[in-house]
């Protein structure tokens, strides 16, 4: 009797559960071996095994091993409920009578396993990392599993596993979106694209973006407005305090050009400082419009008393905030402020100090409360901008602490772990740096809570690294640190 090749196809539902099928293929002639190495055979196995699953995803890493040979199928399609699938094959001499008989696929995947698979969603992204040593941008397939917040990475160029599925503290699904930067084991990754259609379809509405703009009449209320945005579950991914020229205002409001209030709109937008922000979240456009309230502030106070315009608007014109009314306008308005050449910021670099709201405080939703506290203490925020720091910039900014403070490396890691908000703080003349340093409190929040419980770090800090904010230590460095963010990094 001719020897058979026994092949086992395994679908890993998660790290501890899997389903498998075993079938036999006759090998009467040596020319059967090349057949087993072909992509056509591999795709046949995939289609046959996964035909009962519901979700369709792009599977880029499907492996077959036979007689020590390795075959990689690129761009394969598999039905695997959104999960990455691995295919292993091994040789065994057997004399089984059945040839090419598959066992029941649905019987091998029980209802319990189906339920577990649906709970363990896997989202796939393309991430880039700049390797400073090699001066190269390296690309990875980044996989995020929602059940246990674990991650997995594959080196696309070298076609190998880069990071096995493991837990990475501090990384959640909300932190992973196109344009985001996260720090994974001291490597700062930037997400540039979706890696499969499943992720794109599932996250397209969950990661919807829109423009929210604080108008000139309400910039002193920006802390309260930011706090309302975070409380509503929306995330701020970009922000800048800027001024708009008349030509820019005319371009921004060009859809109202033929309306009688067009000139008044343009005049108002150019009358002072504005703060455009990119908001992201599920159905972000509709949710922000609902949070903003009716256009007429008087109507907002009667129909939506908890809305932004009800609280901070004055009338139909000076109504606190602006919001895009459609996906098309949202994209146009976001491009207006955040695409192309950077908009000029409003930093004065006179009698100022630098404050940086750290990533952990931003992600925890404390940024608005911190800004409110700063303003209520008598300080003025004369410039504001959101940054995603890379390691080189963070090390340069904290260079004065290198070799002096034991926590230097951890301070750098925290600063690049997510978005931070830099502020130029003024309002106390030449005493601003020292006065603000006093208001921020001791570097260690535990000490601050015992000695000065009303300071920023005492209220919002967690530990010596995650102590809510950075502030300029020496008065003579106030302008230098502010200039680093608003003159160097902003360009």
Active site residues: 322
**Distance from C-alpha of 198 to C-alpha of 58, rounded to nearest angstrom:** 8
Query: In a 10 Å sphere around its CB, with 0-12 CB exposed, 13-18 middle and 19+ buried, how is residue 183 labelled?
Result: buried
């Amino acid at each position: 009797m001719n020897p058979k090749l026994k092949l086992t196809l395994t679908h890993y539902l998660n790290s501890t559960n899997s389903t498998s099928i075993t079938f036999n293929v006759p090998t009467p002639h040596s020319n059967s071996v090349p057949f087993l190495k072909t992509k056509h055979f591999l795709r046949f196995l995939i289609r046959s095994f996964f035909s009962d699953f519901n979700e369709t995803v792009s599977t880029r890493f499907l492996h077959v091993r036979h007689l020590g040979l390795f075959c990689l199928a690129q761009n394969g399609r598999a039905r695997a409920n959104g999960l990455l699938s691995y295919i292993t094959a091994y040789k065994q001499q057997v004399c089984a009578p059945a040839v090419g008989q598959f066992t029941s696929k649905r019987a091998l995947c029980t209802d319990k396993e189906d339920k577990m698979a649906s709970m363990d969603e896997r989202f796939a992204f393309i991430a880039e990392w700049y390797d400073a040593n090699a001066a190269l941008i390296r690309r990875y397939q980044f996989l995020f599993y929602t059940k246990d917040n674990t991650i997995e990475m594959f080196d696309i160029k070298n076609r190998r596993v880069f990071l096995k599925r493991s837990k990475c503290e501090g990384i959640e699904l909300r932190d992973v979106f196109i344009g985001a930067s996260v720090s994974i084991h001291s490597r700062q990754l930037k997400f540039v694209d979706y890696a499969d259609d499943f992720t794109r379809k599932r996250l397209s509405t969950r990661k919807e973006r829109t423009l929210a703009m604080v108008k000139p009449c309400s910039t002193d209320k920006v802390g309260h407005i930011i706090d309302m945005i975070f409380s509503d579950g929306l995330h701020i991914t970009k922000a800048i305090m800027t001024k708009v020229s008349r030509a820019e205002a005319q371009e921004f409001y060009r859809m109202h050009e033929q309306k009688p209030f067009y000139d008044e709109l343009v005049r108002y937008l150019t009358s002072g400082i504005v703060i455009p922000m990119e908001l992201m979240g599920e159905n972000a456009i509709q949710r922000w419009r609902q949070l903003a309230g009716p256009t007429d502030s008087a109507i907002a106070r009667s129909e939506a008393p908890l809305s932004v315009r009800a609280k901070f608007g004055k009338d139909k014109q000076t109504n606190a905030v602006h919001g895009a009314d459609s996906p098309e306008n949202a994209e146009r308005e976001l491009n207006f402020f955040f695409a192309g050449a950077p908009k000029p910021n409003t930093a004065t670099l006179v009698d100022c100090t630098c404050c940086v709201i750290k990533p952990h405080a931003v992600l925890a939703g404390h940024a608005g409360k911190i800004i409110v506290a700063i303003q209520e203490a008598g300080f003025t925020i004369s410039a504001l901008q959101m940054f995603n720091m890379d390691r080189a910039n963070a090390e340069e900014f904290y260079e004065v602490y290198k070799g002096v403070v034991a926590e230097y490396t951890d301070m750098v890691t925290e600063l690049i772990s997510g978005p931070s908000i830099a502020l130029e703080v003024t309002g106390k003349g030449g005493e601003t740096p020292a006065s603000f340093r006093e208001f921020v409190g001791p570097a260690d929040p535990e000490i601050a809570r015992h000695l000065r419980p009303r300071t920023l770090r005492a209220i919002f800090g967690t530990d010596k690294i995650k102590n809510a904010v950075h502030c300029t230590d020496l008065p003579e460095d106030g302008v230098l640190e502010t200039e680093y963010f608003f003159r160097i990094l902003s360009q």
